[in-house]
A and B are shown apart, each in its own frame.
Chain A
């Protein structure tokens, strides 16, 4: 974690020229980049809002304490997240300043605004079941979006992130950071409002309609068991599935509005949401450590099987999310290959990060550490694999080779860390 700011700085310096050249080419490109940045932050907000601790995570004894919903939200959710967010902002700034120059403050504020808007949207949607406050939060988010678009003077599609698009072109008048910060504060308030009225999670299903196959051999059985555990896991359905579904909807809307480029943005967001599954796979697998270690099946193999299951579930999610937008936009084979490469890279990085810093359910600090590991691993791999592809002569064959190597390394690492991990 100590290396993160240095890595971010290095990444910012490396990515800066290419990024600035890309956004300088046209205003639509700059606005799309701004929207993509904000939407990525919004997906993070959706995931975090749906994953953060609730009253039941205090434990049976403390959950019964007379704590108001507002106090609970502030103590368990808002304050820890703001502290973590400030730490993350320092790392983010280390990347943004060398990468974007004068547009960095606007980008930083857009990150907070996107995060808060995503969180308020997710929380509002969840609260719809129990209270009108959910509808109020969602209406508030829509209002903030429209207000941001009017303030920036760009198309409504870009909402408040029009400020960032203009800043990337050097056309923003300097009011963007303050406006985006105001939107972030208002969205945090809407998030808190919806959280105060969010009903308890529905009790988990007690039964399944059919007992799924368990497989003949130990490894097949471990793989299939991991598939079921990841597919039925409540917290992943709330976070990864919801984020991927939201990204799918956004991708479809963007595909309708702007065509294949919109599909690519939606696909990128879907990959980010689905990455939670391989990120969490190793940690969830370790919860049954007693069974894996007591059984005669080799632990490295059952650990690797769980990692493969995480990748398979994530790829299925991405496929389901991308297919509608790709179909509508009539995406070319090249565009679909781009999505596949992005998915393999990101999901492989998530599997590696999850193996290095296993996801611990109901432990927000550990979950944030896993997120941090994903950022660090993805950044590091971006450079390492880029160099490797260059040394192989570049082109499609080199890309396929390095991405395959990444997947193999992810599986090997998952098996190795499972075998050498702490005994239960």
Chain B
């Protein structure tokens, strides 16, 4: 039996924080081999949608399936590579130690190291393996988190504030890396405020507003 063709399927996702409804029934599909962008104003629920997909928070209603597995389960997490908007809390680890930790937590095989090495070079982080994450600029810390997640070659990559803090060269590298992951059969869900980045990277774009998808279609929808 082959892999599911859908990397992420969200149906009627609902999330409330206290009395505030952040997501009021989000339907979203990310097919394998595609890059889907999630755009919308601040507070529209982009990050919450991504965090449910990555298993960091549970939805109050609806369902999210990652590669056929319920989001938040061990099986779904093992298939997901998550890049947060702020990769905080690991300042005392070096880039090399951080990659080793992620590799161990996900029980990735030895091929992880080769992929991470190539990505480190692509993001101009080669030679920084001994640098403490806390000593790096915000952009380089984000690049390290991107390398750690994409080197897993996950069935679904979830990337928050995709191009934030990255310089133009690193943004271009991220774009190529996400396209390569999709080309290899993975699915990508990214959130961004950078419409130009979304236009150049995504196959389709979903617009979130008021906790719902108000428009979803080819990149041309952005215009």
Q: Which residue of B lies closest to A290 (CB)?
A: B84
Output the least CB separation between A185 and chain B (Å).
Answer: 39
Q: A208: CB under 8 A from chain B?
A: yes
B101 touches A208 (CB 8 A): no
Q: Mark A217-255, 1 if CB is under 8 A from B, else 0.
A: 110111001001101110000000000000000000000
Q: Does A207 lie within 8 Å of B104, measured CB to CB?
A: no
Q: Known contacts A204-B135, A205-B132, A296-B78; is A225 also within 8 Å of B54 by CB?
A: no
Are A423 and B78 closer than 8 Å at their CB atoms?
A: no
Bound Cα distance A23, B134 (Å): 51
Greatest chain B CB density within 10 A among A229, A291, A298 is at A291
Q: Given the known A-B contacts A214-B104, A220-B104, A288-B90, are A294 and B80 also in contact in the complex, defined by CB atoms under 8 Å?
A: yes
Report B61-97 residues with CB < 8 Å from chain A CB: 74-75, 77-78, 80, 82, 84, 87-94, 96-97
- Give A283 Cβ to nearest chain B Cβ, in Å: 10
- B1 within 8 Å of A (CB atoms): no
A-B Cβ contacts below 8 A, count: 110
Is the C-beta of B103 less than 8 angstroms from some C-beta in chain A? yes
- What B residues does A211 contact at CB under 8 A? 94, 96-97, 100, 129-130
B89→A287 contact, CB < 8 A: yes
Contact between chains at A214 and B56 (CB < 8 Å) = no
Q: What secondary structure prevails in chain B residues at the interface with A?
A: mixed
Neighbour of B104 across the interface among A212, A215, A229, A232, CB < 8 A: A215
Q: Is B56 touching A423 in the complex (CB atoms < 8 A)? A: yes
Could you say which of A208, A217, A302, A423 contacts B132, with CB atoms under 8 Å apart? A208
Residues of B within 8 A of A222 (CB): 101, 104-105
Cα distance, A206 to B129, chains bound together (Å):
11
Shortest beta-carbon distance, B55 to chain A, in Å? 6
Closest partner residue, chain A, to B134 (CB atom): A204
Q: Per a CB cutoff under 8 Å, which of A206, A225, A233, A423 touches B101?
A: A225
User: Is A216 in contact with chain B by the CB < 8 A criterion?
Assistant: yes
Given known A-B contacts A217-B104, A294-B54, A294-B82, A225 and B131 have beta carbons under 8 A apart: no
Say yes or no: B92 contacts A228, CB within 8 Å. yes
B191 to chain A, nearest CB (A): 15
**B90, B93, B105, B106 interface centre (most CB from chain A within 10 Å):** B105
Q: Which residue of A lies closest to B100 (CB)?
A: A214
Q: How far is the CA of A173 from the CA of B134 in the complex (A)?
A: 56
Q: Find the B residue at minimum CB distance from A214.
A: B100
CA distance A209 to B92 in the complex (A): 13
Complex Cα gap A287–B93 (Å):
13
Of the candidates B88, B94, B106, which one forms a contact with A287 in the assembled complex, judged by CB atoms under 8 Å apart?
B88
In the bound complex, do residue A293 and residue B55 qualify as a contact, i.e. CB atoms below 8 Å apart?
yes
- Does A289 sit at the interface, judged by CB under 8 A? yes
Alpha-carbon separation in the docked complex, A287 to B132 (Å): 16
Give the distance in Å from the alpha carbon of A169 to the alpha carbon of B78 in the complex: 66
Closest to B74 in A: A296
The residue in chain A whose Cβ has the minimal distance to the Cβ of B158 is A294
B105–A295 CB distance below 8 A: yes
Q: Provide the residues of chain A in CB contact with B78, threshold 8 Å.
A: 296
Residue A424 interfacial (CB < 8 Å) = yes
- Give the distance to chain A from B127, nearest Cβ to Cβ, in Å: 10
Distance between Cα atoms of A214 and B95 in the complex (Å):
12
* A295 touching B94, Cβ below 8 Å: no
Q: Does A86 contact B (CB under 8 A)?
A: no
Q: How far is the CA of A232 from the CA of B106 in the complex (A)?
A: 25
Which of A206, A225, A231, A302 makes the CB contact (< 8 A) with B97? Answer: A225
Instruction: List the B side residues contacting A298 at CB < 8 Å.
Output: 74
Tell me, in angstroms, the Cα distance from A290 to B57 when the chains sit together: 10
A84 interface residue (CB < 8 Å to B): no
Output the nearest chain B residue to A215 by Cβ-Cβ distance: B104
Q: Does A297 contact B (CB under 8 A)?
A: yes
Flag if B97 contacts A228 (CB, 8 Å).
Answer: yes
A residues apposed to B, CB below 8 Å: 204-212, 214-218, 220-222, 225, 228-229, 231-233, 284, 286-291, 293-298, 302, 423-424
Across the A-B interface, the 5 shortest Cβ-Cβ residue pairs: A214-B100, A287-B89, A221-B104, A288-B89, A206-B135
A-B contact pairs, 26 of them (CB 8 A): A204-B135, A206-B132, A208-B132, A211-B100, A214-B97, A214-B100, A214-B103, A214-B104, A215-B104, A216-B104, A217-B104, A218-B104, A221-B100, A222-B105, A225-B90, A225-B101, A228-B92, A231-B92, A288-B90, A290-B88, A294-B77, A296-B74, A296-B105, A296-B107, A423-B56, A424-B51
